[in-house]
């Protein structure tokens, strides 16, 4: 698996991340098998959030099941998120600090490698975020910072006040939810694809060395579920993906993953599955580099135009 910088010379992560949002009801053995499979596949980064399972429940299950030694802990990258409070958002200094302390306790660790602000808080006061980040950095509780689902304007607003580099923006991206890529391809055309919905967030992240982490990489983006295997809605896409999967000797998940990681933005893919076989299948995609022709063929088969 290719190893890539996440924005700091002392922090590296695989370009596949395992998200642990659905492990609340798994047994300790199932969690260890899932994480062990990921580690065997070269995945070293694990993504959490305080709301996964509600009230840090998934973090607690992860920490209890693994209970890593200090040496084992140093071999992985733990990332978590805060800010969503079930019907409202909270980027106050108090909430950020309290949430981090609860995450550290749940995860059985003394520090977080990465903390992300989870979805934008319309009532954000950048000075409060700055105060929290300063405290967390000074205490050693958090080593690196970023955001999730933020616009370029929201990132600029925070960057004007926060001293720490914001290294990550976690954004929804899949073959069938790729506006941030597709809108630029159709620029200046009288076509729905040319409508700017993301305000150039992908190019902005590239220009500012902000790593994009793609969540829901196999989801349709409209609530209808995964696009892989859904021939009723995505017959052509599945035909192309299946053909390429057969050519490369991999599972369809690997092709869907490879389409994202082929992009020169060096996007990281966040897997949300609890199935070890799907982790292995997707991880294989990080070893593939689709040709330009193949990349655009998959793109067109997902319903996008290439003028």
Catalytic residues: 52
Whole-angstrom distance, CA of residue 225 vs CA of residue 220: 6
Which of 271, 294, 268, 267 is closest to 282 using CA atoms? 271
Determine the Cα angle at 288 with ends 287 and 291, to 5°: 155
Two tokens, residue 254: 């690997």
Which region holds residue 237: left if phi is over 0, alpha if psi is between -120 and 50, else beta?
alpha
Tell me how many degrees the CA angle 23-120-16 measures, rounded to the nearest 5.
45
Q: Which region holds residue 41: left if phi is over 0, alpha if psi is between -120 and 50, else beta?
A: alpha
Q: Tell whether the torsion through CA atoms of 56, 59, 64 and 70 is positive or negative.
A: negative
Rounded Cα–Cα distance for residues 178 and 156 (Å): 23
Distance CA 103, CA 60 (A): 8
Name 223's Cβ contacts closer than 8 Å, sequence gap at least 6.
Answer: none
Say if CB 77 and CB 44 are below 8 A apart. yes
Residue with tokens 């060096």: 266
Using the structure block, give the residue that is written with the tokens 């694990």.
46
């Amino acid at each position: 698996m290719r190893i890539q910088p996440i924005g700091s010379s002392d922090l590296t992560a695989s370009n596949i991340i395992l998200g642990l949002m659905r492990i609340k009801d798994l047994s300790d053995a199932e969690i260890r098998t899932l994480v062990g499979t990921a580690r065997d596949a070269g995945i070293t980064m694990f993504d959490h959030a305080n709301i996964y399972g509600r009230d840090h429940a998934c973090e607690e299950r992860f920490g209890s099941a693994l209970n890593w030694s200090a040496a084992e802990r140093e071999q992985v990258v733990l990332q978590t998120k805060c800010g969503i409070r079930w019907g409202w958002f909270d980027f106050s200094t108090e909430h950020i600090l309290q949430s981090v302390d609860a995450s550290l306790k749940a995860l059985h660790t003394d520090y977080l490698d990465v903390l992300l602000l989870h979805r934008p808080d319309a009532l954000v006061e950048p000075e409060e975020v700055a105060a929290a980040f300063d405290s967390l950095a000074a205490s050693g509780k958090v080593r690196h910072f970023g955001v999730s689902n933020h616009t370029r304007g929201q990132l600029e607003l925070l960057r004007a006040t926060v001293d720490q580099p914001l290294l990550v923006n976690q954004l929804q991206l899949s073959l069938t939810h790729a506006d941030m890529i597709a809108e630029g391809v159709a620029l200046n055309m009288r076509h729905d694809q040319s409508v700017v919905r993301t305000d150039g967030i992908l190019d902005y992240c590239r220009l500012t060395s902000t790593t994009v982490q793609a969540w829901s990489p196999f989801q349709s983006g409209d609530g209808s579920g995964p696009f892989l295997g859904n021939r009723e809605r995505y017959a052509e896409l599945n035909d192309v993906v299946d053909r390429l999967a057969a050519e490369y000797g991999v599972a369809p998940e690997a092709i869907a993953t490879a389409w994202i990681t082929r992009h020169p933005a060096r996007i990281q893919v966040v897997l949300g599955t609890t199935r070890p076989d799907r982790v292995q299948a997707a991880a294989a995609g990080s070893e593939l580099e689709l040709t330009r022709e193949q990349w655009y063929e998959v793109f067109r088969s997902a319903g996008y135009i290439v003028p």
